[in-house]
C-alpha cells in the first residue's frame, strides 16, 4: 500500500516518526510531506532513514497545498494520514473521496481540564500549568480550558498565576529561557487578535512571565502567557482552539453542569480530571465525549505512550495512532479461505 502522511509544524519530529514507523513496519511505501513551517529537521532525519531501505520506499516531497492535493488525488496513494487542522482535513477528505482513498486524521482539540473539589492544589496546579503551556500552548492535546469549582476558584487562580509568572520568555538558545515564541506569523496574529477580543468582554486577561532580552522582543513571534479570569462557558476563548499561550479559567458549581459545558463543543480529542479520588475520576470520565481522558496528568504516562490509542472523536479526528491499534491504520486485511473436500 502506498501511503501519504502529512505533518504539522508544532512537533514535526515526533509526529513524523509516529507515522513513518508503523507505516514502514506494516510494509508500505510512503511519501512524507513536511510542513513548510518546519521542514529541515524532518527532511534531514528521513534522508538518513531512507538510506536503510530500498530506493523509493521512503520519499519526502516539499510544497504548499497544491502539492498535497496532487498527492491525495494520485491513483497510487491508498491511504492518507494527516495531522493538522480541520479545514485542511475536510479538503483532503473531499479529494480522497474521488478515488475512495482511505484517510486517517489527527486534528485539533479544545481539551478541558476539570478540577474537582477534592484536588490538592499544591500538587495539581504546576502540572496543569505545564499541560497548558508546553511548547507555548502549541500542542493539539494541550489543556485549552480549565474548569474549577467555585469553592476553589480564588485559590486556584492565585496559585496558577504565581506558577505561570515564573516562566522566562526568550530565544530557545538562551539557557535561561523556559518559554519560547510562536511558530509562525499566522498563528501569532490569531492569538493576539483573540486576546484583544477577550479584552472586550467582562472577563479579565492578565499577561504573566518574565521577558528575557527585551531588546529582541520584536525579532520573533513572542507572546507572554495569558490567563483569563472569570471566563464564561460561551466566550470565544473557551469554545475555540487557541493553540497558543492563552488559557481561560471557568467557574462551575455542579458536576453535571461542567460535564454539559465540557461536551458542548465540536472537538473531542483529550481531556483531564484532577482529583484525590481516582475512582471518582474514572466514573466521571465515562461521561466525557473525547478520545482520551487523563487522570491527574495532561498527557500519557510511560505505559500510556506504549499502550494507549491516541486520537479523537467528533471534529478531532478519524482513527488512532500509537499502540497496536495505530499500527492497524496502515494494514489492509486480506482473508483466504480454502475449502477442503469432504
Is 285 exposed, middle or buried (CB count within 10 Å of its CB: 0-12, 13-18, 19+)? middle
Contact 243, 187 (CB under 8 A): yes
Of 140, 241, 321, 329, which is the active-site residue?
A: 140
Choosing from 106, 241, 321, 329, the catalytic residue is 106
**Residues 267 and 315 sit within 8 Å (Cβ to Cβ):** yes
Active site residue 332: no
What is d(CA 93, CA 183) in angstroms, rounded to the nearest whole number?
26
- Dist CA 145 CA 263 (whole Å): 12
Cβ atoms within 10 Å, residue 179:
26
**Helix (H/G/I), strand (E/B), else coil: 305:** helix
In order of 1, 32, 125, 282, 310, the CA distances from 78 in angstroms are 6, 14, 45, 39, 22
Number of H helices, E strands in the chain: 12, 15
User: Checking DSSP bridges between strand 204-207 and strand 226-231, what pairing results, if any?
Assistant: antiparallel
Q: What is the number of other CB atoms lying within 10 angstroms of the CB of residue 212?
A: 17
Beta-strand pair 102-106/77-83: parallel
How many Å apart are CA 113 and CA 57, to the nearest integer? 42
All three cell numbers of 223, joined, read 507572546
How far is the C-alpha of 82 from the C-alpha of 66, rounded, in Å? 15
Question: 154 an active-site residue?
Answer: no
Is the dihedral angle over the CA atoms 37, 6, 26, 328 positive or is it negative? positive
Write out the catalytic residue numbers: 106, 140
Amino acid at each position: 500500500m502506498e501511503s501519504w502522511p502529512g505533518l504539522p509544524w508544532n512537533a514535526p519530529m515526533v509526529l513524523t516518526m509516529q507515522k513513518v514507523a508503523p507505516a514502514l513496519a506494516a510494509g508500505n511505501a510512503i511519501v512524507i510531506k513536511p510542513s513548510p513551517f518546519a521542514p529541515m529537521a524532518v527532511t534531514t532525519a528521513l534522508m538518513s532513514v531512507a538510506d536503510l531501505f530500498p530506493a523509493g520506499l521512503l520519499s519526502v516531497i516539499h510544497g504548499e497545498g497544491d502539492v498535497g492535493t496532487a498527492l491525495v488525488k494520485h491513483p497510487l496513494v491508498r491511504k492518507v494520514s494527516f495531522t493538522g487542522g480541520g479545514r485542511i482535513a475536510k479538503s483532503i477528505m473531499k479529494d480522497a473521496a474521488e478515488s475512495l482513498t482511505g484517510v486517517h486524521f489527527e486534528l485539533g482539540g479544545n481539551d478541558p481540564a476539570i478540577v474537582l473539589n477534592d484536588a490538592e492544589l499544591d500538587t495539581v496546579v504546576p502540572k496543569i500549568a505545564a499541560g497548558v503551556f508546553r511548547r507555548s500552548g502549541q500542542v493539539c492535546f494541550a489543556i485549552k480550558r480549565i474548569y474549577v469549582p467555585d469553592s476553589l476558584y480564588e485559590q486556584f487562580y492565585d496559585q496558577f498565576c504565581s506558577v505561570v509568572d515564573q516562566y522566562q520568555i526568550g530565544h530557545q538558545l538562551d539557557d535561561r529561557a523556559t518559554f519560547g515564541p510562536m511558530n509562525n506569523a499566522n498563528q501569532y496574529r490569531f492569538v493576539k487578535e483573540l486576546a484583544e477580543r477577550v479584552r472586550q468582554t467582562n472577563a479579565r486577561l492578565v499577561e504573566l512571565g518574565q521577558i528575557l532580552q527585551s531588546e529582541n522582543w520584536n525579532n520573533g513571534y513572542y507572546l507572554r502567557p495569558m490567563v483569563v479570569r472569570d471566563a464564561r462557558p460561551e466566550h470565544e476563548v473557551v469554545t475555540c482552539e487557541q493553540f497558543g499561550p492563552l488559557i481561560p479559567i471557568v467557574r462551575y458549581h455542579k458536576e453535571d453542569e461542567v460535564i454539559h459545558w465540557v461536551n458542548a463543543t465540536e472537538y473531542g480529542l483529550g481531556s483531564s480530571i484532577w482529583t484525590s479520588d481516582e475512582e471518582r475520576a474514572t466514573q466521571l470520565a465515562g461521561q466525557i465525549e473525547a478520545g482520551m481522558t487523563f487522570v491527574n496528568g495532561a498527557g500519557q504516562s510511560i505505559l500510556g505512550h506504549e499502550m494507549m490509542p491516541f486520537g479523537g472523536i467528533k471534529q478531532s479526528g478519524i482513527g488512532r495512532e500509537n499502540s497496536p491499534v495505530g499500527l492497524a491504520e496502515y494494514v489492509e486485511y486480506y482473508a483466504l479461505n480454502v475449502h477442503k473436500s469432504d
